[in-house]
Chain A
Amino acid sequence: MDFSVDDAARERIEALRAFGREHVRPAGLEADREGRPIPVGHAYFDAAMQHGYGRTRWGREDADAGASNTRMALLLAEEFAYWDRGVMIANPGPSLPEQSVIGMGTDEQKERYLGPFVAPDRPRWACFAMTEPGAGSDAAAIQTRARKDGDGWILNGAKCFIGSASRSDWILVQATLDPTKGRAAQRAFFVEQGTPGLGPFKTEKKMGLKAYESASFSLTDVRVPAANLLGGEARYERKAGFKAAMQTFNAGRPVIAANAVGIGRAALDEAIRFAREHDLLGRDRVRDRIEAMARKVRMARLVCLRAGQLADLRRANIQEASMSKALAATVALESASLGLELLGAAGARGDALIEKLYRDAKAMDIVEGTGQIQRMIIARQLVGLPRN
């Protein structure tokens, strides 16, 4: 048993902390104030590129580093979100779809779609579009259709809340060959920006996490070549399609959990700072709230790291991963909420960081599987909850 953080992680956290203080927090506050995503061309993105963001880990010697050291990745995800979780998602790079492309893409697809992220000439983005106006949690119910047309595919449908969609070089779009056949009939397609029929993009007005763009768009007779089917047709003929997604361990949900821990920790630090500056630390009601925040954030972090450790050991962690996500999301919100109570009426002014954290935190229980969906996943293992 060992609850320490090793020197390598410590050093990287320190470096990220300096970057966070200087660049991330200011960019996040500015976006929140102005109520819009960080615009393309903003100086923040240059700083992020200089700091090493925006690149793919495909082809690098440490390509698997994220997977083999999930715990390190989680500590860094926590630290980034501590400074601003919205800015983290706004970062350039192949983001969410990167892992799918590395895991399922053909060599040509990796070269074509991840290649430009190896040594990018400018900030570049890519994104993954699953959610639709009519289907979010129930991903098997998506309606965006893919129809074979000669040597290509025609896509029709609508996607919503997709991160960085309008600025992405390409969007990995999840579509179905037959909406009555559920997940087995789903395929993912690379749709390049500028393809006729893609868009228009509507940037959503959000409660929080304003630093990154969440866009909704339609696909109207969007034609893509056969080569744009993720993994290529041969892959599906071998019926390998969704098996890849059915892993016994999960390293993605703990990352969201770690983000939530970072938000909760930021709220805790803000609450302590406020209480100290206003000479409130001597009051029981103040100390009790701070203690509760510190305790829960600490617990959420441990749950998250435990899920990460199991992933590193390639041990089953489906329950732990979902628990970390469900728990940390509520802890982040509770921490911000308790923190606001310390501020009292000043918290209602709308200009305190902790008030922003309260709004930001709510999304953590929604994105990448709501708290209810996590509980369903856990309950399937715990009590054999049937899928239907």
Chain B
Amino acid sequence: MFDADPGEELALVVETARKFALEALQPHLREAEAARGVEGSVHEDYHAIGLAGLELPEAHGGAGLSSVARALVNEELGAADAGAALALDPLGPALHPALEMGLALEPLAAHGARPGSRVVLATDLDGQVSVGGDRVTAELPYVPADRADAVVVLAGDTCACVIEGIAIEPLRGAGLRAAGGGRLRADGPAVATVCDPAGAARARARIRLYVASLLLGVLRATCAFSRDYAQQREAFGRPIAHHQALAFLITDMKMAVDGARLLVHEAAWRLEAGLPAEAAAASALAQCVEASRTVGPDGVQILGGHGFMADYPVEKHMREARALGLLFGGFDAAVEEAGRRVCGNDAPLGLVESALS
């Protein structure tokens, strides 16, 4: 029966991720942003505590944990520094097409084991991507990376990996600068190619949850920071949080984030349980992005002029939430996929039916 608590084992994983995020990432977020990367020792620590291969099967040296674990961990890391979270995860969402579609994992696992490695994901939702014969070409206006050891491409139902002919031309980036950022061109021989429609659909679901959970973390952080600030800052003789306009705004922000989180967790649970999860994951991302349109800017608004300045993290939250919501097709592609599935002839009428399935 419905139980939204993570359970003891996952609670421990979350606790580990939270501690790491608060100690290793949060205090250095501006430095990481300026340096377009995190320090080598942080990469080492990230690997040492087992976050690098979270979902990689144990046979390949990973922890073999589920989508639910990924969602919970990403929220913690995203709440501290979403850019750093991307920089640290050597495989990132690029793992998911490989995992779900049966691409040979050995070469990727080798990258996953190396601190500082980056495998970048390019999908046809972000730009021009094609897999033709033995060749892969990709041209994306932006990826959150300055360099890539390999690129996994997901084009329609096909996934392939390329390691030669990759070029990333660095860009300033709207946010997520700790991950680097640039324009990606890849044109090289495919190391492996797989076509699997069902696997591709599940991979897209996991990619969306990866982004959605990072985004949730950013939104949670902006809620918490602006709430605490509003209880300290006084105007007209009382804390600004005690003016009803702001009290209700803070309430609505929290409500938006808590609601979106449950959608993310439900979709992740569905993936783990082997239930159809594509529509749920797409909807979860759409809801996170929708929330980010108000929660991000509202976080800045609560701090007034101070919120606009780089002295506080809320302006970074606002930029990064927006940038995350644009990745992998963002809101539009998510709504398109969820809408198609909800309206499809195979979709049962009524949500209880679908919840019961």
**Which of A's residues lie within 8 Å of B, judged by CB?**
1-6, 9-10, 13, 71-72, 75, 78-79, 82, 265, 268-269, 272-273, 275, 281, 284, 286-288, 290-292, 294-303, 305-306, 308-309, 319-320, 323, 326-327, 372, 375-376, 378-379, 382-386
Q: Is the CB of A327 within 8 A of B355?
A: no
Contacts of B262 in A (CB 8 A): 299, 302-303, 306
Other-chain contact of A384, B3, B241, B338, B342 (Cβ < 8 Å): B241
Let me know if B322 is at the binding interface, CB within 8 A: no
Contacts of A284 in B (CB 8 A): 336, 339
Q: Mind listing 10 A-B residue pairs with CB under 8 Å?
A: A1-B10, A1-B68, A82-B352, A268-B351, A284-B339, A296-B287, A299-B262, A302-B266, A382-B250, A384-B231
Contacts of B335 in A (CB 8 A): 288, 291-292
How long is the Cα–Cα vector from A297 to B343 in the complex, in angstroms? Answer: 15
Other-chain contact of B350, A269, A287, A308, A320 (Cβ < 8 Å): A269
Known: A323-B254, A372-B248. 5 other contacts (CB 8 A): A265-B352, A286-B343, A309-B4, A323-B258, A383-B239
Q: Is the CB of B263 within 8 A of A384?
A: no
Q: A5-B2, A306-B262, A384-B241 are in contact. Are A272 and B338 (CB under 8 A)?
A: no
A384 → chain B closest CB, angstroms: 7
Query: Which of chain A's residues has its CB closest to B246's CB?
Result: A383
A130 → chain B closest CB, angstroms: 23
Contacts of A75 in B (CB 8 A): 352
Q: Is the CB of A294 within 8 A of B259?
A: no
Q: How large is the interface on B (under 10, 10 to 19, 20 to 34, 35 or more residues)?
A: 35 or more
Q: A1-B269, A299-B262 are in contact. Are A375 and B247 (CB under 8 A)?
A: yes
How long is the Cα–Cα vector from A55 to B343 in the complex, in angstroms? Answer: 41
| B interface, over-half SS | helix
Q: Is the CB of B251 within 8 A of A5?
A: no
Other-chain contact of B343, A10, A275, A305 (Cβ < 8 Å): A275
Which residues 323-357 in B have Cβ within 8 Å of A in the complex?
Answer: 335-336, 338-340, 342-343, 349-352, 355-356
Query: Which of chain B's residues has its CB closest to A69's CB?
Result: B1
Q: Is the CB of B5 within 8 A of A1?
A: yes
B216 → chain A closest CB, angstroms: 13
Other-chain contact of B227, A291, A296, A383 (Cβ < 8 Å): A383
Q: Is the CB of B351 within 8 A of A385?
A: no
Let me know if B230 is at the binding interface, CB within 8 A: yes
How long is the Cα–Cα vector from A265 to B273 in the complex, in angstroms? Answer: 24
Contacts of A323 in B (CB 8 A): 254-255, 258-259
Contacts of A375 in B (CB 8 A): 247-248, 251-252
Q: A1-B6, A288-B335, A303-B259 are in contact. Are A386 and B242 (CB under 8 A)?
A: yes
Q: A269-B350, A382-B251 are in contact. Are A71 and B1 (CB under 8 A)?
A: yes
Let me know if B260 is at the binding interface, CB within 8 A: yes
Contacts of B239 in A (CB 8 A): 383-384
Q: Is the CB of A291 within 8 A of B3?
A: no
**Which of B's residues lie within 8 Å of A, judged by CB?**
1-7, 10, 68, 227, 230-231, 239, 241-242, 244, 247-248, 250-252, 254-255, 258-260, 262-263, 265-266, 269-270, 273, 279-280, 283, 286-287, 335-336, 338-340, 342-343, 349-352, 355-356
Other-chain contact of B3, A273, A292, A309 (Cβ < 8 Å): A309
Contacts of A298 in B (CB 8 A): 263, 266, 280, 283, 351, 355
Q: A1-B5, A287-B343, A295-B263 are in contact. Are A383 and B349 (CB under 8 A)?
A: no
How long is the Cα–Cα vector from A323 to B230 in the complex, in angstroms? Answer: 20
Q: A1-B7, A301-B355 are in contact. Are A385 and B247 (CB under 8 A)?
A: yes
Q: Is the CB of B343 within 8 A of A272?
A: yes
Q: Is the CB of A327 within 8 A of B259?
A: yes
B204 → chain A closest CB, angstroms: 16
Query: Which of chain A's residues has its CB closest to B2's CB?
Result: A305
A19 → chain B closest CB, angstroms: 15
Contacts of A72 in B (CB 8 A): 1
B138 → chain A closest CB, angstroms: 27
Query: Which of chain B's residues has its CB closest to A303's CB?
Result: B259
How long is the Cα–Cα vector from A305 to B260 in the complex, in angstroms? Answer: 14
Q: Is the CB of B349 within 8 A of A272?
A: yes
Q: Is the CB of B247 within 8 A of A78?
A: no
B256 → chain A closest CB, angstroms: 9
B95 → chain A closest CB, angstroms: 21
Other-chain contact of A302, B4, B10, B255 (Cβ < 8 Å): B4
Q: A294-B342, A309-B2 are in contact. Are A273 and B349 (CB under 8 A)?
A: yes
Other-chain contact of A291, B265, B269, B342, B356 (Cβ < 8 Å): B342
B14 → chain A closest CB, angstroms: 12
Among A10, A269, A287, A309, the most chain B Cβ lie within 10 Å of the Cβ of: A287
How long is the Cα–Cα vector from A326 to B7 in the complex, in angstroms? Answer: 28
How long is the Cα–Cα vector from A13 to B251 in the complex, in angstroms? Answer: 33
Query: Which of chain B's residues has its CB closest to A17's CB?
Result: B352
Contacts of B247 in A (CB 8 A): 375-376, 379, 382-383, 385
Query: Which of chain B's residues has its CB closest to A295's CB?
Result: B283
Other-chain contact of B259, A288, A290, A299, A308 (Cβ < 8 Å): A299
Query: Which of chain A's residues has its CB closest to B3's CB?
Result: A2
Closest 9 CB pairs of A and B: A287-B339, A291-B339, A302-B262, A383-B241, A379-B247, A295-B283, A6-B1, A2-B3, A299-B259
Q: Is the CB of A294 within 8 A of B352?
A: no
How long is the Cα–Cα vector from A148 to B340 in the complex, in angstroms? Answer: 67
How long is the Cα–Cα vector from A77 to B248 in the complex, in angstroms? Answer: 28
How long is the Cα–Cα vector from A258 to B135 in the complex, in angstroms? Answer: 53
Q: Is the CB of B231 within 8 A of A302?
A: no
Query: Which of chain A's residues has its CB closest to B247's CB?
Result: A379
Q: Is the CB of B351 within 8 A of A4?
A: no
Other-chain contact of A2, B1, B283, B351 (Cβ < 8 Å): B1
Q: Is the CB of B4 within 8 A of A385?
A: no
Q: Is the CB of B258 within 8 A of A383?
A: no
Contacts of A299 in B (CB 8 A): 259-260, 262-263, 287
How long is the Cα–Cα vector from A302 to B258 in the complex, in angstroms? Answer: 10
Other-chain contact of A290, B2, B270, B342, B356 (Cβ < 8 Å): B342
Contacts of A309 in B (CB 8 A): 2-5
